[in-house]
């Protein structure tokens, strides 16, 4: 069993983007993201040791996961990643007591508690918790990391390198990596980034902000002070249903367009059920700016986003899908994600007196109501220690004055959706999750016959 990996000391500066994410952790906010894997067939008593051995053998392919943050006055962020000389894989993995079988509601409570438990910032910023006994003979693995260590795409790449095995080769696809995740074409990404930089220069860095960063009024019910407690909930549906539904409406409608529209439908119903007007919500939709993940690039965050107004007032489910598709298509054609990325890179180099007020403005509740992410996961089945994964959920932390966050990830033909919320603001998160599944059914029922 390999518990440590010998390597020459190395130091990598914490990027400006990751430093900003780390700085968000204060008060009741934790900068966590986690993956919940549901696995078939209960594990044996040596599961923790077996996981430590498996991960230890594979750490050479993901060295950031054995590094911790250390002060470094020589770099702009003041922190660098450096190999932790005391690192042992076993110290980051633990099994929960297994006296009782855990049902789905109790599992969500365990995940919610994990979201509120801080990571030790003096050690590598990740943990794993094994829930050894679920109903139905299953078990669960809760893999938590700080968001400054990895974004959604980086977590998927790390999972393929450290944790899971592909049970069969993924179907051939020109835009997917060997692990099944979607592969941005490096040259195309760089061309888009250059296009974004040119657009930014032409607009004097104000054209897009003047168009997109407009204060929404009134504020949504999600724009409440965030307390220390969390609730989580899950939803899922076949990826083919999202794809086929979109194409039945219009060939240009994407899977993500349908996902955003069905979430809008669920939020609309939730608002109306709570006596609130179904208007004024805008989603921040992350867009990965990573180069080809299969090239062995660094961990960390390389994200931009689109700002998409959700058609909350639209009662027709088909019209909601068309409206979302038109809005996302317009923002893609105007290279919004690339321009916002260039703006954020420029902002990271601005003086603190300028940068912080602008960051508060951009991340405020007037600019967007909730974050909705969608990360492509493995296209074919995966297993951990020989146990087949039957579900893979992603949960991401909420933000100040943003009491709900929704994260989707796909696995082997199924889209899994994880919701995280402050239960003081959304006391019935499970009903909202059920509403997302019902919203897709409503769209499909409204499709023309044939």
Same domain, 339 and 213: yes
Neighbouring residues of 43: CB distance < 8 A, sequence distance ≥ 6: 50, 130, 132, 139, 385, 387
Q: What is the pLDDT of residues 184-225, one digit of tens each?
A: 444 444 444 454 444 444 444 445 555 555 555 678 889 999
Q: What is the CATH number of the domain that holds 27?
A: 3.30.559.10
Last residue of a domain, one of 166, 201, 218: 166
Q: Indicate whether 298 and 418 sit together in one domain.
A: yes
Structure tokens at 239: 């990826």
* Residue 179 belongs to some domain of the structure: no
Q: Does residue 31 lie in a domain region? A: yes
Statement to judge: residues 411 and 280 lie in one domain = yes
In the chain, how many domains are there?
A: 2
Q: Domain of 311?
A: 186-374+401-446
Q: For residue 231, give the nearest of 391, 116, 100 by alpha carbon.
A: 116
Tell me what pLDDT residue 17 has.
Answer: 80
**Claim to verify: residue 99 and residue 132 sit in the same structural domain:** yes
One domain for residues 314 and 204:
yes
Q: Which CATH number covers residue 195?
A: 3.30.559.30
**């053998």: which residue's tokens?**
57
SS3 358: helix
Residue ending a domain, among 166, 200, 217, is: 166
| Residue 218 sits in the same domain as residue 306 | yes
Residue 386 resides in a domain: no
The answer as to whether 384 is a domain residue is no
Q: Which of 215-224, 298-307, 343-352, 430-439 is least confident?
A: 343-352
**Over residues 240-256, mean pLDDT:** 96
274 and 407: one domain?
A: yes
Residue 395 inside a domain? The answer is: no
Q: Does residue 272 sit in the same domain as residue 354?
A: yes
Strand ranges in 186-340 using DSSP code E only, listed in sequence order: 231-238, 282-288, 303-309
Tell me whether residue 50 is in a domain: yes
Out of 27-31, 107-111, 290-294, least confident range: 290-294
Q: Tell me: pLDDT of 287 over 80.
A: yes
Least confident of 25-39, 277-291, 373-387: 277-291
Task: Specify whether 201 is located in the same domain as 286.
Answer: yes
In terms of domains, do 130 and 78 share one? yes
Extract the tokens encoding 112.
């919610």
Mean local confidence (pLDDT), 164-182: 55
Instruction: Measure the CA–CA gap between 33 and 180, rounded to whole angstroms.
Output: 21
* β-pair partners for 236: 416
Model pLDDT, residue 1: 44
- Position 352 scores a pLDDT of 58
What pLDDT sits at residue 333?
80
What are the DSSP calls for 101-157, one per residue?
-B-HHHHHHHHHHHHHSPP-TTS-SEEEEEEEEEGGGEEEEEEEEETTTB-HHHHHH
Q: What is the mean pLDDT of the chain?
A: 84
Phi, psi of 191 (to 5 degrees): -65, -40
Q: What is the pLDDT of residue 193?
A: 44
Same domain (yes/no): 351, 418: yes
- % of residues, the chain, pLDDT over 70: 76
The predicted structure's pLDDT at residue 209: 56
Give the Cα separation of 236 and 350 in Å (integer): 42
pLDDT higher than threshold 60 for residue 100:
yes
Handedness of CA 375, 67, 142, 226 (dihedral sign): negative
Q: Are residues 347 and 262 in the same domain?
A: yes
pLDDT at position 8 over 50: no
Question: Does residue 173 lie within any of the structural domains?
Answer: no
Question: Is residue 206 included in any domain, yes or no?
Answer: yes
């Amino acid at each position: 069993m390999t518990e440590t990996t010998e390597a020459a000391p190395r130091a990598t500066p914490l990027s400006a983007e990751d430093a900003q994410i780390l700085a968000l952790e204060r008060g009741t906010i934790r900068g966590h993201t986690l993956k919940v894997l549901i696995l078939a067939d209960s594990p044996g008593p040596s599961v923790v040791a077996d996981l430590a051995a498996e991960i230890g053998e594979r750490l050479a392919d993901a060295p950031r996961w054995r590094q911790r943050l250390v002060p470094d006055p020589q770099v702009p962020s003041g922190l660098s990643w450096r190999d932790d000389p005391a690192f042992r894989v076993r110290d980051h993995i633990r099994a929960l007591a297994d006296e009782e079988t855990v049902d789905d509601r109790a599992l969500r409570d365990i995940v919610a508690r994990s979201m509120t438990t801080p990571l030790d910032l003096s050690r590598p910023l990740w943990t794993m918790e094994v829930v050894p006994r679920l109903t139905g003979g299953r078990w669960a693995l809760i893999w938590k990391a700080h968001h400054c260590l990895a974004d959604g795409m980086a977590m998927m790449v790390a999972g393929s390198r450290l944790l899971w095995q592909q049970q069969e080769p993924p179907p051939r696809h020109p835009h997917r990596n060997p692990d099944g995740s979607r592969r941005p074409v490096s040259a195309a990404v760089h061309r888009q980034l250059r296009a974004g930089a040119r657009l930014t220069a032409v607009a004097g860095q104000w054209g897009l902000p003047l168009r997109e960063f407009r204060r929404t009024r009134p504020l949504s019910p999600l724009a409440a002070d965030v307390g220390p407690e969390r609730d989580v909930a899950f939803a899922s549906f076949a990826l083919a249903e999202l794809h086929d539904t979109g194409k039945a409406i219009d060939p240009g409608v994407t899977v993500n367009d349908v996902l955003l529209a069905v979430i809008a439908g669920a939020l609309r119903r939730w608002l109306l059920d709570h006596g609130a007007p179904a208007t004024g919500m805008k989603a921040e939709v992350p867009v990965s700016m990573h180069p080809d993940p299969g090239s062995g690039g660094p961990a960390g965050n390389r994200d931009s986003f689109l700002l998409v107004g959700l058609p909350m007032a639209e009662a027709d489910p088909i019209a909601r899908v068309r409206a979302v598709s038109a809005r996302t298509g317009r923002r893609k054609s105007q290279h919004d994600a690339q321009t916002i990325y260039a703006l954020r890179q420029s902002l990271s180099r601005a003086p603190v007196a300028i940068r912080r007020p602008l960051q508060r403005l951009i991340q405020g509740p007037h600019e967007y109501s909730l974050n909705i992410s969608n990360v492509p996961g493995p296209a074919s089945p995966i297993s951990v220690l020989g146990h087949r994964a039957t579900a893979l959920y992603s949960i991401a932390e909420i933000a100040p004055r943003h009491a709900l966050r929704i994260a989707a990830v796909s696995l082997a033909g199924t889209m899994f959706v994880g919701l995280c919320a402050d239960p003081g603001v959304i006391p019935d998160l499970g009903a909202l999750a059920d509403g997302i599944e019902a919203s897709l059914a409503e769209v499909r029922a409204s499709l023309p016959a044939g």
